[in-house]
Amino acid sequence: MVLKLRNKILLVIIAIFLVIQLPVFRPAKNFTDAEPVNDISKAYDVPMDIQMLLYDGCYSCHSNYTEKYFWYSNIQPVSWWMASHIRNAKKELNFSEFATYSPTRALKKFKEIEEEMQKKSMPLKSYTLTHKDARYSDQDYKDVMDWAVTMQKELTQKKETPLAPE
């Protein structure tokens, strides 16, 4: 009797798992064909080496352009978790929309980038397990951190410099 009940429960779980795999239950991918007109590089000086580090280690979650989806991203509930993670990451910092940030917010974000690089807490270890190109060396962390500090200084200087009379 107990065996039959356990088998029925197992069959129900398997059936639910299979049903949620249907495409109708998949979240939309984080990708757009739109021109990145508000990308950070449109408003701020981002040297190519820094841009590549940001692209490799940050853009998959912190932009509108997640290009690399691995096979496991097609399995529910993993894809739901990934979509939620990306949505939350973009709320915190979106490099594709960075040019729309006010100078005060941009300054705060550059400070947060500096802190994350100093702690080496980004990119997440769980992300770098499957994305080898996102693994930063000590020098990569230092380079991004130094760039963020430079951007903070530039923004602070702009805020302190009065506008020239017209």
pLDDT, tens digit, 9 for 90 and up, residues 51-92: 999 999 999 889 998 877 677 777 777 788 788 888 999 999
Candidates 116, 21, 129, 146; CA nearest to 76 is 21
What is the average pLDDT score of the chain?
85
What b/e string do you get for 81-111 counting C-beta neighbours within 10 Å, with b at 16 or more? ebbeebeebbeebbbbbbbebeeeebbebbe
Percentage of the residues of the chain whose pLDDT score is greater than 70:
86
Q: What is the pLDDT of residue 165?
A: 57
Q: What is the CA radius of gyration of the chain?
A: 21
Average pLDDT over residues 3-25: 74
Candidates 124, 54, 130; CA nearest to 96 is 54
Q: What is the pLDDT of residue 116?
A: 95
5 pLDDT more than 60:
yes
CA distances from 145 to 22, 31, 50, 64, 150 (A): 43, 27, 10, 23, 9
Burial class (CB in 10 A: 0-12, 13-18, 19+), 37: exposed
Count of other CB atoms within 10 angstroms of residue 29: 14
164 pLDDT more than 80:
no
Percentage of the residues of the chain whose pLDDT score is greater than 90:
49
Average pLDDT over residues 29-33: 73
Q: What is the pLDDT of residue 166?
A: 52
Per-residue DSSP letter, 39: -
**Band of pLDDT at residue 128, cut at 50, 70 and 90:** confident
